[in-house]
Amino acid sequence: MTTATAMATKPGQDEALDRDIHAYARANSRKVFVKTYGCQMNVYDSERMEDALTQGGYVRTQNMEDADLVLLNTCHIREKAAEKVYSEIGRIRKLKEARKNTGKRLTLGVTGCVAQAEGEEIFRRAPAVDLIAGPQTYHDIAAMVARAENGEKVIETEFEIEEKFAKLPAPTRQQTIARGVAGFVTVQEGCDKFCTFCVVPYTRGAEVSRPFSQIADEALRMVDAGVREITLLGQNVNAWHGSDGGKAMRLGDLLYQLAEISGLERLRYTTSHPIDMDDGLIDAHRDIGKLMPYLHLPVQAGSDRILKAMNRHHTAAEYLDIIERVRKARPDIAISGDFITGFPGESDEDFEATMDIVRRVNYASAFSFKYSARPGTPGADMEDQVPEPVKSKRLSRLQVLLGEQQQAFNQACIGKTIDILVEKKGRHEGQLIGRSPWLQSVVVEGGLSEIGHMLTVQVTSSGPVSLMAERV
Ligand code: SAH
Ligand code: SF4
Ligand code: F3S
């Protein structure tokens, strides 16, 4: 019907009609609200679920009170992250009851890593939940939601990773445009490393790489819709492997290929494991101008004894050697990392080794956490659990040092002339926010038509969360 109506209109009326149709859809369709916790892979998955649901007749809402369907895409990495979900469910339960009193229905789904790790247990603990879906089942999300809306309790936690990527619908051009000029592509999922503190191998399953052709198609479609920067995602993104016409590829090769896409200005990848940091990838940092000088390479701890207990498969010296080689290949590269304080058995001396490696590397940014014992991981059963106050004290000392390093890195940018990708409008009228090569937010004056453009600017000052700059 819409096609017939559209054909009856003159060119130019199409757009207005399109607007009317969208307004009609917004007023009459069911609305979905997706709340995302955890890592960027969850952000990517949430987008793909939204794509599938909106192509199936839902419209997105930013307001939970408005929604007919709420999906909580959850993270299980630390206890705090997982517990947050239950307090959110408590709030939604009240909303759901209020809705029921007006004769309407609110469907609540829990997806992501808590769904995978806790499964059925979620129904027991939170009967308000209608749907539980693990990370490898999202290609069925629309069908699962339909069943849940019919009153069925739906649970799906199978691992069928190839299915997920092959069957999830691609975003439409409009959906991609709406998400802005910097986008994510998951290229690898799951983890075979089994660090003794970590739940990811259990929640996401074994390491699987998406085929090169699928990734290339997605990247091309994104660039065609105006995306200028692509970040390749994976729990161990540098374990990615594939093939091109029978020739084996690693992540470095993938980056060389994607860098050929004209219109694509920038490439990034995250997160990497030190043992997969091969020569080809290090060379890519030397050779590919579009590959941004930024490497997130978690080390977790500086003591070899603790690294061994964590099952990280490398020593502190080996990590430092990688950093040295990467810096030789790309001298302006910014290094970022993740750290855990208070892993079982960590002595004062072990912790000093972490402080020492941080001093040696000099990080541009970092994430640091207190060890959280996770059910089902070997670390949780280890003796010598470190008391909370000790973990906290170590974390504060570490964060002071990392904070100083980050600030020094930002300060050192003052006076530099750099290229930024303009991503969005700033907080104040006439301000734009761009991204530096080193992932800092950069505030500069300019007009909205410049979003998506590269600008050359000079950094004038550095604040706590962003740099200020002037155009040159
Ligand atoms: N695959 C990445 C990390 C994924 S999890 C890697 O191997 O580096 C992100 C970060 O969360 C980890 O780097 C680690 O620092 C932290 N983390 C994971 N499990 C944790 C736990 N049980 N307690 C505290 N921090 C944890
Ligand atoms: Fe977790 Fe280790 Fe795998 Fe990273 S490499 S996801 S920390 S098990
Ligand atoms: Fe969290 Fe799962 Fe990502 S546990 S960090 S959402 S892989």
Contacts of 308 (CB under 8 A, 6+ apart): none
Best residue for ligand 2 mutational test, from 113, 116, 273, 311 (most atoms within 8 Å of Cβ)? 273
What pLDDT is stored for residue 23 in this prediction? 58
Cα of 201 vs centre of ligand 1, distance in Å, is: 11
SS3 of 423, please?
A: strand
Cα of 452 vs centre of ligand 2, distance in Å, is: 34
Sequence ranges of the domains in the chain: 3-161, 163-411, 417-471
Ligand 2 atom index nearest CA of 271? 4
- For residue 408, what are its two tokens? 């020094």
* CA 106/CA 73 separation, integer angstroms: 17
Instruction: Look up the CATH superfamily of 163-411.
Output: tm_1862 like domain (3.80.30.20)
Cα of 470 vs centre of ligand 3, distance in Å, is: 38
Backbone angles phi, psi at 439, to 5 degrees: 75, 10
* CA 145/CA 149 separation, integer angstroms: 6
Ligand 3 atom index nearest CA of 77? 4
Peptide bond into 9 cis (omega under 30): no
SS3 of 433, please?
A: strand
300 lines ligand 1 (CB under 6 A): yes
CB atoms within 10 A of CB 270: 21
What pLDDT is stored for residue 1 in this prediction? 31
With a cut of 70, say whether residue 17 has pLDDT above it: no
Q: What are 317-365's pLDDT values in tens digits?
A: 999 999 999 999 999 999 999 999 999 999 999 999 999 999 999 999 9
96 lines ligand 2 (CB under 6 A): no
What pLDDT is stored for residue 14 in this prediction? 52
> Options 3.40.50.10540, 3.30.70.980, 3.30.530.20, 3.40.50.12160; which CATH number does 3-161 get?
3.40.50.12160
With a cut of 80, say whether residue 220 has pLDDT above it: yes
Higher local confidence (pLDDT), 202 or 14 = 202
Q: Which ligand is nearest to the CA of 41?
A: 3
What mean pLDDT value characterizes the chain? 93
H or E stretch covering 208: strand 208-209
Q: What are 233-244's pLDDT values in tens digits?
A: 999 999 999 999
113 lines ligand 3 (CB under 6 A): yes
* CA 115/CA 89 separation, integer angstroms: 13
What pLDDT is stored for residue 10 in this prediction? 43
Q: What are 300-316's pLDDT values in tens digits?
A: 999 999 999 999 999 99
The DSSP line for 338-407 is: EEEE--TT--HHHHHHHHHHHHHH--SEEEEEE----TTSGGGG-S-PPPHHHHHHHHHHHHHHHHHHHH
Best residue for ligand 2 mutational test, from 191, 208, 299, 377 (most atoms within 8 Å of Cβ)? 191
Say if domain 417-471 classifies as CATH 3.30.1600.10.
Answer: no
CB atoms within 10 A of CB 366: 22
* CA 408/CA 359 separation, integer angstroms: 13
**Range with the poorest average pLDDT among 146-155, 159-168, 398-407:** 159-168
Ligand 1 atom index nearest CA of 236? 1
Cα of 339 vs centre of ligand 1, distance in Å, is: 8
Backbone angles phi, psi at 144, to 5 degrees: -65, -45
* CA 432/CA 55 separation, integer angstroms: 32
Cα of 186 vs centre of ligand 3, distance in Å, is: 13
Ligand 1 atom index nearest CA of 377? 22
Cα of 39 vs centre of ligand 3, distance in Å, is: 5
235 lines ligand 2 (CB under 6 A): yes
What pLDDT is stored for residue 282 in this prediction? 98
338 lines ligand 1 (CB under 6 A): yes
- For residue 449, what are its two tokens? 């038509």
Residue whose token pair is 């470190």: 386
Q: Name the nearest CA neighbour of 332 among 358, 297, 295, 367.
A: 295
Protein residue with least CA distance to atom 1, ligand 3: 75
What is the distance of C-alpha 161 from the center of its chain?
Answer: 18
Q: Any idea of the CA torsion for 412, 414, 417, 421, to the nearest 10 degrees?
A: 90
Cα of 236 vs centre of ligand 2, distance in Å, is: 7
* CA 316/CA 328 separation, integer angstroms: 18
* CA 134/CA 69 separation, integer angstroms: 17
199 lines ligand 3 (CB under 6 A): yes
Cα of 232 vs centre of ligand 2, distance in Å, is: 17
CB atoms within 10 A of CB 10: 6
What pLDDT is stored for residue 11 in this prediction? 43
What's the N-to-C CA distance of the chain in angstroms?
53
Cα of 210 vs centre of ligand 1, distance in Å, is: 23
